[in-house]
Chains A and B, each alone.
Chain A
Amino acid sequence: MTAQATSRNSGQYISPARERAMGVFFLIVAAAMWFFFLRTTEPGVMTTFGMTPGGSKVKAPDWVFETALALQVLIFLTAFLGVYQLARGFKQYTNLVLGIVSGFFIFAFLAWGTSGVSLNLAGLLRVMVIRSVPLTLGALSGILCERSGVFNIAIEGMMLTAAFTATLFGSVTHNLWIGLVTGMLSGLLLGGVLAVLAIKYKVNQIIAGTVINIFSTGLTSFLSAKFLQKYQHLNDPGRFPNWDFPGLSQIPFIGPIFFSHNLYVYAMYVLVVVLTVALFYTRWGLRLRSVGEHPKAADTLGIPVNRTRYMAVLLGGLVAGFAGTYFTLGSVGRFDEVLTAGRGFIALAAMIFGNWNPFGAFGAGLLFGFSDSLAGKLTILRVPIHNKFLEMAPYLVTIIVLAGVIGRAQPPAAGGKPYEKE
């Protein structure tokens, strides 16, 4: 218990055995880049990355470079990092370096896949940001609940219900904002259901989440089949328009990727920062986390455990509701049965991969969004990987992280246990 608490506060402690394993791993990555990419690349072939997303007014010139040369540089850098790791060690920065090496590998893969053809890199990254929205927001909902000690596997159900509610009310009132608010309220309501089942009735939290997931899938599919299919005007809420962030959106390459989106993307940026500050730099956040780590100690200090948990789960429901409205008001503009398609569970994965940390979840959301975005472009690249395997990637990565192969996930210590006062 104490070891866990200290390790979380004082950065991550990396055991020497793991440091060595990581060094060897970096070298293997370098070797793999040579074996799979460089070996099969003809010298002199060029890679062309488009740096302007389709339809953007902010132009940037294409980036053309020689594939083999870029691969050589990347392999050299990766091998250097591996040797350095073995010789001296990056200590607490090991995970950061692991991220850099993974980035190198992905870039090498893209450069190799694009050799001789052209790929719109900016478009790919723009779609990555868009796809990351529901994943990151869903993960934030999970973080709020789980940091307070309540498992929330119902993110999927909450998002689905909110997507439906937002569509219905947005269409009826012809007002996007009413749709947004009612969608969020429906998330809040389901958060309340989860809280009452898990905290008041002490139902196993996985079962409580399953109840909400089955119920939401059933209810939204039922109502959609019964009404939305028949009365199409009830299924036409419209969408939030794109808004160029003044100044920042004019930066070539960066601007169109990050600062030319609708409400949801900006809300995601804001929420990630706000939640980080609230959870880790305020008294409120400290109390919330203490309830999730050691409720008895928190109770002894006079923190109302169950009330704190209620508040956290309700807020989590609100955030999940917001994430759900994205699917209709921020994306396709109409509701279809089960349109979340398991995104709530990828959000769960992003939460774990991000180590129950808002910025970590954002990073994981971007990574999973990238694999999603790339899966759609694989046919252009003609690489011998099926897009179904890229779609599996978030789940596989989460299993690997949970199993502690690369980095160790540290869930809140009291997660999943109802608190009983003695």
Chain B
Amino acid sequence: MRNLGQQPAQSLRGFFIFLEEVRRSPLTVTFLAIFTGLFLGGIIAALSSEPMYEAFRLSVGEGLKAGAQAAWNTYRALFLGAFGDPVKISAAFASGDWLQINRALSPFFESLVQATPYIFAGLAVAFGFRVGLFNIGAEGQIFVGALAAVWAGVFIKGLPALVHAPLAFLIGGLGGALWGFVPGWLKAKTGAHEVIITIMMNYVAFRLSEYLLTGYLRDPNKTTPISAPIETTAWIPRLFPDPNRFHWGFFIALGIAYLVYLLLFKTTWGFELRTVGANPHAAHYAGMNIVRSTVITMSLSGMLAGFAGANEVLGVNRNLGVAFSSGYGFDSIALALLGNSHPLGVVLAALLFGFLRNGAIQMQLTAGIPIDIISIIQAMILAFIAAPAIIRTLYRLKPPKEVELTVRSEGETA
């Protein structure tokens, strides 16, 4: 677009080339998928609002107006919940009172808090995808990671915070790694499909957590099945005073995303893993060890998911109750695909999901719209990302030049 104004014909051609590029770019599909998902979510919000039906009795125009109004209200509440109210924020900055500013900005930071486990879990699934493995068990690995971390936080005593918190975080990761190792090992040794095994491992993890939280880990002073609060030395510190829950876990997640990027794209070992993912036969003939890479990948993937659980326990809740992770693990499948299984993409997608989730929680409180609407939106985004042909047909896009990354998930390893 730089040559705009030099020669009309040439600049016009430049514009068309640019448009052509946009129409071919996979990123366009991603953005349109998100947009379409949000749009359809708005339609569902409109369809489920009672005022719209009453307005339709008056006239069609009134009905459409009421429907649009309902969708607008939904997304307004979502936006305000996710980012905070701009009016309040500017008023707080004008007053110069730190307490006010903290309170006005806390929705924004809360979204980052919600995005943090998404980053870990999304990295877990994406890492598996890159090596051709489908880790659908992130949810269970999150639970086991949280159980391990809360154990370390409650029962290890007397350590300085500088040792205790990282140790509890690592133990949480190891718990998740164990839960990823089992399906990886079974897949490598017996060819058992990792998808089914990880689904089963999820439910074993749920039952295990219920068992431990009603027994061994339960706080005897509470009537509900919930663990005792962890030692303060195991806390991942928060940056701001209450009610702002933003903590260092977010930066740890960014750091680990960078490490995953380095591992996958800048080391020989990562190249080997990606080769196994892209073409296991070729990798096998090149002398790469598929059994080892399968086991290591599933363990590391489980570890990343375990970090998500540890992060929630040590940074946010500081204890563990039943059903604490409502669907982070399953959403992360959508998220990893949305981010094209690239660490940077995962971080961006996790931010989107974090803002959506936090916004939806606030929206439920203020506008009375059930939080589950974001599950519907996420499912539709996932469908459009997984079937880009739908989006291309819808918006008359051209097929991409390069072959997209596809997930290999078949019955047997090579």
Contact = CB atoms under 8 A, between A and B. Distances in A.
Interface in A381-400: 386, 388-389, 391-392, 395-396, 398-399
Interface string A360-394: 00000000000000000000000000101101100
Given A207-B337, A211-B379, A416-B410, A392 B208 contact: yes
A416 B411 CA distance: 8
A225 B370 contact: yes
Given A214-B375, A402-B196, A207 B382 contact: yes
B379 A388 contact: no
B89 interface: no
Interface in A200-215: 201, 203-204, 206-208, 210-215
B334 A222 contact: no
A345 interface: yes
A409 to B, nearest CB: 8
A352 interface: yes
Contacts of B369: 226
A206 B409 contact: yes
A337 B233 CA distance: 38
B372 A396 contact: no
A345 B383 contact: no
A261 to B, nearest CB: 27
A395 B196 contact: no
B370 A214 contact: no
A207 B386 contact: yes
B218 interface: no
A352 B186 contact: no
A219 interface: yes
Contacts of A395: 200-201, 203-204, 207
Categorize the interface residue count of chain B: 35 or more
Nearest to A204: B407
Contacts of B207: 388-389, 391-392, 395
Contacts of B211: 386, 388-389
Contacts of B190: 402-404
Contacts of A396: 200, 204
Contact of B376 (A207, A219, A346, A417): A219
A189 to B, nearest CB: 14
A216 B369 CA distance: 17
B215 interface: yes
Interface in A163-178: none
A398 B369 CA distance: 39
Contact of A215 (B182, B193, B376): B376
A223 interface: yes
Interface string B199-238: 1111110111011001100000000000000000000000
Contacts of B330: 210, 213-214
Contact of A204 (B192, B372, B379, B406): B406
B348 interface: no
A153 B199 contact: yes
A151 B192 CA distance: 15
B105 interface: no
A386 B215 contact: yes
Nearest to B408: A204
Nearest to B182: A399
A349 interface: yes
B200 A349 contact: yes
Contact of A214 (B192, B378, B390): B378
Interface string A205-245: 01110111111011101110111000000000000000000
A241 B289 CA distance: 59
A304 interface: no
Nearest to B186: A403
B288 interface: no
Given A197-B383, A214-B375, A215-B376, A345 B199 contact: yes
A183 interface: no
Nearest to B191: A404
B200 A153 contact: no
Contact of B374 (A197, A203, A218, A346): A218
Contact of A207 (B201, B204, B215, B333): B333
A342 interface: yes
A217 B410 contact: no
Contacts of B411: 411, 413, 415-416
Most buried by A among B195, B379, B389, B409: B379
B50 to A, nearest CB: 9
A207 to B, nearest CB: 5
A348 interface: yes
Given A197-B386, A388-B211, A206 B195 contact: yes
B383 to A, nearest CB: 5
Interface in A64-79: none
B200 A399 contact: yes
B197 interface: yes
Contact of A402 (B197, B327, B331): B197
Nearest to A197: B387
Contacts of A197: 383, 386-387
A341 to B, nearest CB: 10
A218 B410 contact: no
B407 A207 contact: yes
Contact of B196 (A342, A391, A398, A417): A398
A214 B204 contact: no
A392 B203 contact: yes
A158 B387 CA distance: 20
A398 B200 contact: yes
Contact of B204 (A204, A208, A392, A404): A392
A225 B208 CA distance: 29
Given A210-B382, A222-B372, 16 more contacts: A197-B386, A204-B407, A206-B195, A213-B330, A214-B378, A215-B383, A219-B376, A222-B48, A222-B375, A225-B370, A225-B372, A345-B203, A386-B211, A389-B211, A399-B200, A402-B190
Top 5 A-B residue pairs of the complex, sorted by shortest distance between their CB atoms? A218-B375, A215-B379, A225-B370, A388-B211, A201-B387
Interface of B: 44, 48, 134, 136, 182, 186, 189-190, 192-193, 195-197, 199-204, 206-208, 210-211, 214-215, 327, 330-331, 333-334, 337, 369-370, 372-380, 382-383, 386-387, 389-390, 406-407, 409-411
5 contacts: A201-B390, A221-B370, A226-B369, A227-B48, A402-B192
